Structure 1
Amino acid sequence: MTSTWNELAVYQPKVLKLLANSIQKNRLAHAYLFEGSKGTGKKDISLLLAKRYFCQNPSGYEPCHICRNCRRIDTGNHPDVHIVQPDGLSIKKSQIQALQEEFSKAGVESNKKLYIIEHADRMTVNAANSLLKFLEEPSSSTIAILITEQVHRIINTILSRCQTLSFQPIPPSAIREELEKHEVPSRIAHLVSYLTNDVEQALEISRDDWFAEARAIVIKLYEVLWDRKGQAPLMIHTQWMPHFNDKEKQDIGLDLLLYIYKDLLSVQIGNDKQVVFQDLLQQLKQHSLQITQRNLLKKITLVLDAKRKLHANTNPQLLMEQLVLTLQEG
């Protein structure tokens, strides 16, 4: 089941307000382009708009969610709602032609039709040209919704025929609240909310035992670097590398370490509410008194530099060994 208007308005208030105004004034556009990063609610809001468009018992701008049309859209079985997804790596001309053929027929139950094209940036040139002809001759009762994470790859002639709505990254506070609704421990929810703005991905990460252990290893490395410096290279060999055993995981590990040092900086400038590792707050307050801001900024720069080198195909173990040696110098 898709979310309600109020639930999604927490994530995308500007988008939902604009659509609500258009619905209330009966001025929905014939073509929309929903653009924004992954996990920002583009597909959910597309389906919500579809439900409102076909709902038999709407209340203002909100669909009822329980009528036959709403339930069929929830299950993907409404005959006049069509979703096009990439066939393999791209959306092909034949897929757009099949859509056009379908829309040339009378609506199954009314004259209304709505189609959603996911990853619209993956249309081949021929597919995009076919769609362009479709958009140039809009039916008053047809709504097109194009979804993309790569708006710069949409050709200008399509952009000019769509009303573009930009979806903003979901704030960490909203993700944290959603995770806590799913009984994710507060310390994990708080941290994960800063790692991704995709609620589904956040839930996946927070339920992964690997991540809980990763968090513990990063905290231990930080503590070793603080007061048992000689043990850091051994820890990299015995605990860090076995756990962070590919580049994607290494990157997450470095992000977590970076957040601890940034938390120290937040504490130093009196911004405790911005601290990501809230359960370490008292320890961080003690440490913040023992390090200069200049030294702390140097450590943050070192971790950022390690992240850059990681993506430049540097050997991960040598990279981490070098990083801890330089971090423990200060």
Structure 2
Amino acid sequence: MNRTWKELEAYQPRVLKLLENSIRKKRLAHAYLFEGKKGTGKKETAFLLAKSFFCTDRETAEPCGDCSSCRRIESGNHPDLHVIEPEGLSIKKHQIQSLQEEFSKKGLESSKKFYMISHADKMTANAANSLLKFLEEPGADTIAVLTTSQVHSILDTIQSRCQVLPFSPLPSYIIRQELEKEGVIGYMAAAAAQMTNNLGDASELSRNDWFAEARALVIKLYEALTVRKEQAIVFIHTQWMPFFSDKDLQAQGLDLLLFLYKDLLSIQVGMEDAIIYIDMKESLKQEALQTGQQRITEKVLSILETKRRLHSNANPQLLMEQLVLALQEG
């Protein structure tokens, strides 16, 4: 909750610019619906908006961070900021009713009130109808923020009473930078950032021993394909299939292999800064010089086709054997 508008703008430039302008011009809406995938900064943005809304010492859109209101929001105990989370699997009617009761009272520190409903798509029908009535009669100096990753599950009548702000998936370079700030080694940060557009998931993945071993196995397969071709099929039987033991894991292995071949294309078109296997840069450059772009493109397409067929009824081991033969050609 301690990020600034400038930091979050790198994540969601359109959303943050719109909110900043609304704060400066004192034209904040009474209700917002932040919608987008998990890990796109919706909750952080809501708390930052609350800080700017309550801050008593800000001169621009940026909250001061030092006044009593900012500090109390940071510590999670501001009396006029109310956050509703699902109880178990859903948000229930009594939670919305309790919120309405709180808002019928005078603000404890000012006339301002702010409430946030996380995972608003998990409201029961009764809870959603109670909230709808609440939204129809907005109080002065009151802001509501609803967050959801399933906007299609929110009643149209609720959406129509909110300003809907879509949050885009995070770009991989942002995730990579954030992971490196957390101390993740560069090549692990680069790989994890390609596997998901969720910063939290990428952070967890980058520290996962299984993921590190999967990446190492992919490199071994690549080396077998390029240097020890007679060992590649044996490698699939003895190491690849036992490690990638189901279709979901096999799909992740194929993704990691795909990134490696895409790196060859990146090198060939002069985009070395984009490569993911940065610890293999020199050997990849040598391979890129020796192999034509058309041939590498064909290999990329072979991996994509194998991944597509993986979730059909095709035999995974047979698919991998066929892929090895395709990648060894040329």
Residues 313/31 of structure 1: CA separation in 2 closer, same or farther (3 Å cut): farther
The residue type paired with residue 188 of structure 1 is M
Q: CA deviation at 1:226?
A: 2.1
| Equivalent residue number for residue 78 of structure 1 | 78
| Equivalent residue number for residue 260 of structure 1 | 260
Measured in 2, the distance between the counterparts of 1:172 and 1:38 equals 15
| Equivalent residue number for residue 38 of structure 2 | 38
Measured in 2, the distance between the counterparts of 1:118 and 1:219 equals 41
Residues 94/304 of structure 1: CA separation in 2 closer, same or farther (3 Å cut): farther
The residue type paired with residue 196 of structure 1 is T
Q: CA deviation at 1:304?
A: 1.9
1:145 to 2:142 alignment: no
After superposing the two structures, state which structure 1 stretch, 165-174 or 40-49, moved more: 165-174
* TM-score normalized with structure 1 length: 0.91
Q: CA deviation at 1:34?
A: 0.9
1:26 to 2:26 alignment: yes
How do residues 83-98 of structure 1 correspond to structure 2 at under 5 angstroms? 83-98=83-98
In structure 1, runs of 5+ residues without a counterpart are none
The residue type paired with residue 297 of structure 1 is T
Measured in 2, the distance between the counterparts of 1:153 and 1:298 equals 41
Q: Secondary structure at the match of 1:65?
A: coil
Q: Secondary structure at the match of 1:116?
A: strand
Measured in 1, the distance between the counterparts of 2:71 and 2:168 equals 28
Q: Secondary structure at the match of 2:291?
A: coil
Measured in 1, the distance between the counterparts of 2:222 and 2:305 equals 17
Residues 59/201 of structure 1: CA separation in 2 closer, same or farther (3 Å cut): farther
Measured in 2, the distance between the counterparts of 1:248 and 1:84 equals 34
How do residues 163-312 of structure 1 correspond to structure 2 at under 5 angstroms? 163-312=163-312
Counting aligned pairs with the same residue, the percent is 61
Residues 183/132 of structure 1: CA separation in 2 closer, same or farther (3 Å cut): same
Measured in 1, the distance between the counterparts of 2:42 and 2:87 equals 20
Q: Secondary structure at the match of 1:10?
A: helix
Measured in 2, the distance between the counterparts of 1:70 and 1:150 equals 30
The residue type paired with residue 301 of structure 1 is L
Show CA shifts across 1:35-86 (max 9, x none).
Answer: 1222111100101111111223223111122333222222222222111222
The residue type paired with residue 76 of structure 2 is G
Measured in 1, the distance between the counterparts of 2:83 and 2:249 equals 34
Q: CA deviation at 1:29?
A: 0.5
In structure 2, runs of 5+ residues without a counterpart are none
* TM-score normalized with structure 2 length: 0.91
| Equivalent residue number for residue 125 of structure 2 | 125
Q: CA deviation at 1:306?
A: 2.8
The residue type paired with residue 238 of structure 2 is T
After superposing the two structures, state which structure 1 stretch, 149-158 or 20-29, moved more: 149-158
Show CA shifts across 1:229-258 (max 9, x none).
Answer: 332232223322343334443332111101
Q: Secondary structure at the match of 1:161?
A: coil
Q: Secondary structure at the match of 1:39?
A: coil
After superposing the two structures, state which structure 1 stretch, 135-144 or 81-90, moved more: 81-90
The residue type paired with residue 49 of structure 2 is L
After superposing the two structures, state which structure 1 stretch, 112-121 or 65-74, moved more: 65-74
Alignment coverage as a number of residue pairs: 330
Q: Secondary structure at the match of 2:82?
A: strand
Show CA shifts across 1:169-213 (max 9, x none).
Answer: 222222222222222222222222222222222222222232222
Show CA shifts across 1:271-315 (max 9, x none).
Answer: 333322233233223223443444333322232233233444655
Residues 85/227 of structure 1: CA separation in 2 closer, same or farther (3 Å cut): same
Q: Secondary structure at the match of 1:83?
A: strand
Residues 311/56 of structure 1: CA separation in 2 closer, same or farther (3 Å cut): farther
Q: CA deviation at 1:329?
A: 4.1
The residue type paired with residue 189 of structure 1 is A
Residues 208/118 of structure 1: CA separation in 2 closer, same or farther (3 Å cut): same
| Equivalent residue number for residue 115 of structure 1 | 115
The residue type paired with residue 261 of structure 1 is Y
| Equivalent residue number for residue 11 of structure 2 | 11
Measured in 2, the distance between the counterparts of 1:72 and 1:247 equals 48
